[in-house]
Structures are given as structure tokens and as C-alpha cells.
Structure 1
Amino acid sequence: MSDNTTNTSTTAEHAGRIAGLLAAHPWVARAHPAPDGGVLVVAHPDAVAAEPEPGPLLREHLEQWAEVYEWVYETGEGRHADDLDLSGWRASDTGAPLPEAHMRDWVDRTVDLVLAQRPARLLELGCGTGLLAHRLHPRLDGYVGTDVAQVAVDRLTAAGLPRTAFVRAAAHETAAPRVRDAMDTVFGPGTRPDCVLFNSVTQCFPDLAYLTAVLHGALSAVEDGGTVIVGDIRHSGLILDHFTRLERARDPEADDPTIAARAAAAAETDEELSFAPAAVVTALAAQPRPVRMSVHARTMAEDTELTRYRYDIVLHVGPQTAGPADHQVRRTSWDAHRGSGTREALRAALDGGPVVVHGIPNALLGDAPAAVTPYALRQALEGRDAAVLLDADDPRMLAVAAPARCAPAATGDAPRPTGPVAHEPFPLFVRRRLPEVLRDHLRRARPDTTPPVITVVDGTEDGAT
């Protein structure tokens, strides 16, 4: 046997022993040598699971975000007042704080959406600095807020807002005893909230599995006839638009192919979750109660990423309450009314009873004929019982429902998104974090061994038989 053959055999045996050590780690489902001398590993399903409890890798992802917000809220760089702490709210393109007037508009629009559901007892998951709590609690019989940042919980508790309680808990912990105890204190023993709200928190979720777990927990917590509101969602169908705009702002002189390539790379490695309404429809299919979903546009005046690329979902839980049945709601196209101004066109379209006006191009995302901004629609509807909606299939299209209770659409009519259903950051996190954990594991088990290159792959890529 030649020396080269002997060395190859020895290297293969060494790699095999290393793979065996890695395979024994509880976060690894299997491991085997790669042709280049490294080791391919597949994460154990229990390590990345969202239910019934988050696995250790998923917990690390959640804890990473908790540490970020603990630091952001502690520094308080955006704290204008007790009820207006905008710490962490910065523009993606410049890094500068978002304008205070725009953030006040953002808060007001969210408060409007919540109060339109007429809640009495509200549970907010991820209450942050209390931007919504300070404004909602006077309009409610009771409010309970949870957050992962202890500093936020302590400050809000110290504020002594009437009929409120704040507790440190993650979004998936709606059934945790400390959350139930807080609700018992504020709502009454065993009384359930009639609204569960999580606003501007889903971007910190690891993946759709965790989103589904949180949704199921929220739906289990809310009483029949109540609502679950998921607010300020980053839309996956617009993620490339978002990063293209950012890259163009950073380099106005670059050619279009260069900008497109940079935007695609940035979108691929984005560390925040984005998803389309179709992802929520899929999540709802696995829970027992009837749920009707409405998809709402963000209608702030200022054209920023918070207006362009985000949206809200309202889930109406339980049997349908009194109101016009689906077959009684007239549908009319915007094209049939777009010859006049926005206010006049809407007035003509909304005459004649319950109606949904569809096919309204969003002027923030294109210059199609008769395009209108969500803000212009809201202004034109002022004083009317109506809602500005986002098309569940195409986020570049808007709709108007009048009255607003006509907005919900049966979840059986599954949206067919024009873009990706979701961008999930968790696989990127696992590919980065699991090799770090395994290298430390090897150094403890075999301190005399140089750890090989460890690559995380999914179960279809590792070549195992």
C-alpha cells in the first residue's frame, strides 16, 4: 500500500471518528464525513422544534433577540417621554431614528385598528416600551402585556397604569402560569381576553413553525367572538423591493444588474422573518375553531418602509357574528369608478349597501393608472365605517370594504401569493450556530484534535443512506 493510500485511509478513519463524536451530540440527528475532509451534520428535529416547547437552538435564537431588546430599552436612546419611547425605531437605509411625527401616526393607526374591534380585555404579546399600552388601557376594562425584556416590564409596572399588569414572557407563552395569573388579577379568575395582539414582533420570530405555535397559543387564549391581531408584518412578497430600494439609496450610481444582485443577496441573508398572508392561512388550518381573516394596509401619511412593506392581519375567532353574509356583499372593480378623483370615485363605488371595491393599484409600489396610496384612501373614507385592505394575493393591490365588517374573507379561499410565502431566518442561524456548538463539543471531548470544517445541511442534502 502506498503512503498516499495510507494517508487517505487514515484521514478517512479520523473523519469517521470525528463524525461519530458529533453524531452523539443531542442537537445532531446524524453526521458523516464530507468528501473534502469536513463533516456534514443534520440538526436533530428536537433541537429546532417550535412545539410543544422550543428546542435549544430555537431558544437560542429567541434569547438573542431578547438580549438585543434588553440592551435597546436599557439605553433608551429614543425615549421622548414615558408614553413615547421610540428606542430601536430606526430607518433601514440611513440608520437614523424614524421621524417622531411618523411614529406617532404609526401608533395611532395601530390603536385605531385595535379599537375598531371593540375589545374590552386585551392581552398584548411583545408590548415593548408600552407605545400601545399607554394609549389602549384607558379604553379597556383590562390590559395585560408581556415582553421578553425585563427592563420594559419593570418600567411599565412602575408606571402604575390602572387595570394593567405586565409580565416577562415570550410570545409563545400565553399559557404560562405567570401570564394566566396576570390575567386572573386584571380580567378576573378564569376570564379570557377578547383580543390578543402582537404588533411589530413577528420580524423577530425564527420561522413559520414558531409563528404557527404563537398563533395557536393566541387563538387558544382568546374567547369566542374575539379577535387576534397580528400587526406590522413584513411582507415577503415585497422583500426584494425593500432591499432594492435600500441598495439604490446606498449606491445611486450603480447599474441595475449590480443593484439586483446585491438586493437578492441581502434578501437571502436577511435576519428577520417576513411572510405573506398565505402563511397565516396555512397555520390556521391546523386549529379547530372557525376563523375569518382580513388583511389590512398600513395607512400612515409618510412614505417609509413601515408604510410600503408592512401590513396587518385581523383574525375573527369563532362563529360569525351578525352582519352581511358573504353572498350579500357586492364586489365592484376600481376600474369602473376611476375616472374621477379618489373621494368622488369612492363615494360612487360605496353607494348601494355592503361592498368591497377591489383592484386598486397601490401608488407606493407602482405608477399604474388610477393608482392611489393607502393614506389617500383613508383620507377619502374619513367619517365612514370602512377599512382599507391589502389584496391577500398581491400586495401591490388595495381594496376598500364598507362597512368594515365586510372585510373578512373565509380562510378556505387560500391566497395565491405572487411572491415567496416567507423568508425564514432560522435556517441561517442554525447553519452559523450549530457548528460553533459542535466545535466547542469537540474541543472538550478531544482537546488534541483540530476541529474540521462542519457544515449543516438538511436531511435531503447530506447524502446519507
Structure 2
Amino acid sequence: MVTLTDKAGDGGTNKEAQRANQQAMIENVLHTHLGVREAAVVYDHDDLVAFVVPDDAFVDDVLGRANTGSTVLGKWRKVFDLSQLTKDAASASVGFNTTGWNSSYTRGTIPASEMREWVENTVSDILQLRPKTVCEIGCGTGMLVMQIAPRCDRYVAVDFSPAVLDRLREQLQTVPAVAARVEVIERRADHLDGLDEDLFDTLVLSSVVQFFPNIAYLTKVLEKAVNIVRPGGYVYVGDVRSLQLLEAFASSVELFQAVDGMNAGELRERIRRRIEREPELVISPAYFLSLQHQFPRISRVDIRPLRGRADNEMTRYRYEAILHVGHETGASFDDEFLDWTERKWTLDDVRSMLRQHPNERIGIKCIRNARIEKDLAALAILRVADAGYTAGELRHGLEQNLAEGIHPQALLDLETEGLGFAVFLSWAAGRPDGSYDAFFVPKRSLQGITLPAIGWPETNASKLARLANAPGQGKLRNELINQLVAHCSQNLPEELAPAEIVLVDMLPRAADGAVASQELLRFRRA
């Protein structure tokens, strides 16, 4: 049992010093538990709250997360295998087998026109990286393979579903010229052994990480991915679901499916259950930004909202992360950003600004996102609505809301209007309102550089505390918390038992390296 020692000053016990002593004691005790990688204890008024970053090896080996992860992967593999045994999959056109791509709203298939736009935009974004040797993990039925491989020297297509790969091989047989460039491999995403370091210039993970069992698994995959990409290359992670917008997405789906007479109380409960039972991995942009500190080979990370005019869950709630591997070269811009919330510029205002300043770089931050403006308004109303308020009344009220934001695609379309500007968008700040940042660069100043380094506004440090959800791991997390509570009870005086133990993915830190305690408290209260 640890005993409490006071730090005495000339006037007796110094309360601030005593508190620091108590925090250090609890942290030291927590660090002696094998399940703890990092710990920070913070006073929330008079309550002692412990924030713990779990040790991945302990969670995997002792609590059995690795076995749980294998079970999750097995379930997804069965789902994907079965999807290819349908008539729709058998009759799909070469390079466009969208079987299994279903809408969370309608539960039916996503319209072909919207899927074509998604494929075209994803292919365009990857080709912007100028790939010649590509490894795609989770290649699926080959919608990207069939379009990108013809422009490459070598394309390694990896997937863990045998039925899906059989369908891909059937397609490749109809296009021998493409098949000659493609190597198809059946294996899990974390089994990249045998692929040499610096072998590829581009590694692609598109619309696949949401099916990974947990963030630790993703980190293992990305560590191997970064090692097999040569300096100057990229790891493209596409179609990632945004953690900051998970609640807004859940409320949007539930409101869409609710009958008019459903009351607010039941609607809120359905939203809570949808989030709690979310089977897919949902990730904060801050996770990808944090990888630069883990893997020195990553020199920069770009986070971009998906392009597209279609109105669906992918364009609204997903993003792409591009990891730059090796030494950074090319154009670099570190300009001040105008704040959209101060002026609330319209699209015409932005267009006029560009015409008035044809030779200047212009950055605008916190642009309200017209794609999800109504979804966020509905969520805000629902949070405070009386229990008897109905879904029908909520829908009617939203119809009266005037849109103020700018659609991200509308800003990207300015590139084609002859204004002379290249347009770049970022979701790196990871704000919970889904707002985004834009940067406009005169094209002549880029000198052929397609991905300049831009000093985007930074993320709020409190967003670093939770980097992803934990699908299907509620029992494991509760078991670890129970172990830590018991560990503290056995090794600390009763008065020093933490009021709460909170599991986090990372401890946010200030510029001087100290734990940002206020950000942790802000995260706890969110």
C-alpha cells in the first residue's frame, strides 16, 4: 500500500503541491499495471480523474483482443464471400461490380450513377499521385484495379476474401493487357511479409479500413505499408468514416428512417443505440496526423473531404488521408487563414475575392459545410427537444432553415472557371461541426506541383484523446477498467481512489510536452 506524504512549506501543507503529489502517486500506481502504456491524473474540481492509454500488447494477449479481431475479420470475410454468390455479382460489368455497396439510409443499393462518380473521383485522386508500382490492400472486386492498373508498370492486388478474388480473376481474364500487369494475392491486410521494403511508390487502402477490427490493427497495417513504400511515395487511405461526425451521421440515418409520429425521446434512444452498436471502425482525422510522431518515414499527412456532387453518406461523412513517405520536396505555403465565421462569405463572395486578388494566395478556415448543414441543425434541435416533439415536426422545421454554408464541391469547381487558381480543401482540423478549410493558389506559382505542403489550421488538442471508436470491444474495455479500479484499490489509500478511469487513445500535450489537462477534461465533458 502506497502511503501519502505531504509536501510541507513554511505555512504548512501547500494545497497545490499536495495535489501534485497525489496525482503523481496515482499515476505511478497505474503505471505498474501491465495494461497501462501511459496515464495522467487530473483534478476535475475535487474529483480525481485518471486518463489511461491502454497497452496494445496487454489488450491483445491478455484480454484477448487479437482473438476478437480475428472473429471480426472472419465475419466480414463471410459477408464479402456471400455477396459474390448473387446474380447481381455474376452479371456485373467488368470493372464495376458494386454488389454489397448499400445505403445506410434506404438499406438498398447505392445508385449506379453515384457509385460511378465515387469510382471516378477515387481513381482521379490516386492517379494524381502518379503511381507506377502499386499495392492495393482490400482490392475487392477490382473497381480501382481495372482503371488504375493499365497506367502502371506493376499492380499487386491484395484481399482476404477468396470469392471476391475469384470474381476479380474472372474480370482480368477478359482484359489480358491489364492482367499482365496485375498480381492477385489472397491474404489479410496485416500479413504483408515477403514484400520488400521500398518496393512500391503507392499503397492504396480504399474503403477498407472501416472493416478492420480496431485501431491497433490499422496501425500495424500502416506501419508495414509505410515500410514497403519507397521515399517520395504515398500511402492513400480512402473513404474513411469520420469519428467527429459519427453522432451527426447516426441521427441523420435515424431521422430519415423514422415515421412522422416517432417522438424525440425514442429517436434519441435509437441514435444512442446505433452509435453504441456501430460495427465498423470510425476514425478521427487526428489519428492519421498522429502517425507522423510514430513513424519517422511519414513526412506529411493530407486530410481531404471526398469530392463529389452526389448526396450520400460517403460524400457527407467520409474523407481521404494521404501519407507522404520520405523527404518532402516541392512548394510549401504557410499563410494566415481568413475566418469564414466572421464574414460568412457566399460562393459568389469567394469568386469575387479571387478575381480581385489574382496573384495572391488566399486561405479560408471554418467554412460551414453545406453538405451536412441540415443534419447538424437536426441534431442540435433534437438534443434539447421535449420528449413529445415528433420526427415529423423536426423535418418540417428543417425545411424552414436557410442554408448558409458552401458545398465543398462548389469550391473545387472554381478551378474550371478560368480564374487561374488551384483549389485545395482540408478536413485536418477535425471539427465536430464538419466545417472545412480551403486554400487557393495561383496555378502559375505551383510550377507543376500537384500536392503542395500547406500549413493548415491545427486540430483542437482535445480531439487527440479519442482517435477511433472500438467496435465490438465494449466488454474488453470494461474489463480493463475494472482491473485498474481494483489495482488502485489495492495499492492506494481509499481517499486517493480515482473518481473515474477514462480510456483514451492518446494523451494530448501542450507545446512544451506537458499533458494538456484542460483538453482532457474538455474531452471528458463532451
| TMscore range, shorter length | 0.7 to 0.9
Q: Give the aligned CA root-mean-square deviation in angstroms.
A: 3.2
User: SS at the partner of 1:85?
Assistant: coil
How far the C-alpha of 1:339 sits from its partner, in A, is 5.3
How far the C-alpha of 1:360 sits from its partner, in A, is 1.5
Say whether the 8 Å CA contact 2:280–2:471 is kept in structure 1: yes
- C-alpha distance in structure 2 between counterparts of 1:357 and 1:306, whole Å: 24
Say whether the 8 Å CA contact 1:292–1:409 is kept in structure 2: no
Distance 1:385 1:44, change over 3 A: closer
1:238 aligns with 2:245: yes
Say whether the 8 Å CA contact 1:293–1:410 is kept in structure 2: no
Distance 1:138 1:378, change over 3 A: same
Distance 1:173 1:356, change over 3 A: farther
User: SS at the partner of 1:225?
Assistant: strand
Which amino acid is the alignment partner of residue 246 of structure 1?
V
1:389 aligns with 2:400: no
1:260 aligns with 2:265: no
Q: Give the aligned partner of residue 437 of structure 2.
A: 399
Say whether the 8 Å CA contact 1:289–1:318 is kept in structure 2: yes
Q: Give the aligned partner of residue 70 of structure 1.
A: 81
- C-alpha distance in structure 2 between counterparts of 1:350 and 1:90, whole Å: 44
Larger RCO, structures 1/2 (Cα 8 Å, 6+ apart): 2
How far the C-alpha of 1:104 sits from its partner, in A, is 0.3
Say whether the 8 Å CA contact 1:343–1:381 is kept in structure 2: no
- C-alpha distance in structure 2 between counterparts of 1:225 and 1:411, whole Å: 24
- C-alpha distance in structure 2 between counterparts of 1:342 and 1:144, whole Å: 46
Distance 1:423 1:153, change over 3 A: same
How far the C-alpha of 1:47 sits from its partner, in A, is 8.4
Say whether the 8 Å CA contact 1:122–1:197 is kept in structure 2: yes
1:194 aligns with 2:206: no
Distance 1:163 1:314, change over 3 A: same
Which amino acid is the alignment partner of residue 481 of structure 2?
T
Say whether the 8 Å CA contact 1:292–1:411 is kept in structure 2: no
* One of 108, 114, 122 as aligned partner of 2:126: 114
- State percent identity of aligned pairs: 24
* One of 467, 472, 475 as aligned partner of 1:421: 467
1:123 aligns with 2:135: yes
- C-alpha distance in structure 2 between counterparts of 1:263 and 1:408, whole Å: 37
* One of 291, 314, 337 as aligned partner of 1:331: 337
Distance 1:212 1:372, change over 3 A: same
Distance 1:414 1:290, change over 3 A: farther
Match runs of 1:289-300 below 5 Å = 289-300=297-308
Say whether the 8 Å CA contact 1:62–1:205 is kept in structure 2: yes
Residue ranges of structure 2 left out of the alignment (5+ in a row) = 1-34, 36-53, 375-401, 442-449, 491-526
Distance 1:201 1:382, change over 3 A: same
Q: Give the aligned partner of residue 373 of structure 1.
A: 407
* One of 263, 279, 283 as aligned partner of 1:271: 279
How far the C-alpha of 1:389 sits from its partner, in A, is 2.4
Q: What is the CA deviation profile of residues 363-383 of structure 1, one whole-angstrom value per residue up to 9, with x for unaligned ones?
A: 012268741112222222237
Q: Give the aligned partner of residue 172 of structure 1.
A: 190
Q: What is the CA deviation profile of residues 15-64 of structure 1, one whole-angstrom value per residue up to 9, with x for unaligned ones?
A: xxxxxxxxxxxxxx9xxxxxxxxxxxxx99768539xx983332222222
Q: Give the aligned partner of residue 293 of structure 2.
A: 285
1:318 aligns with 2:355: no
Distance 1:47 1:358, change over 3 A: closer
1:83 aligns with 2:107: no
Distance 1:101 1:282, change over 3 A: same
- C-alpha distance in structure 1 between counterparts of 2:55 and 2:430, whole Å: 35
Q: What is the CA deviation profile of residues 337-378 of structure 1, one whole-angstrom value per residue up to 9, with x for unaligned ones?
A: 825616624634873344433221100122687411122222
Distance 1:44 1:306, change over 3 A: closer
* One of 246, 251, 255 as aligned partner of 1:248: 255
- C-alpha distance in structure 2 between counterparts of 1:350 and 1:243, whole Å: 41
- C-alpha distance in structure 2 between counterparts of 1:256 and 1:350, whole Å: 49
How far the C-alpha of 1:236 sits from its partner, in A, is 0.9
Residue ranges of structure 1 left out of the alignment (5+ in a row) = 1-28, 30-42, 184-189, 432-455
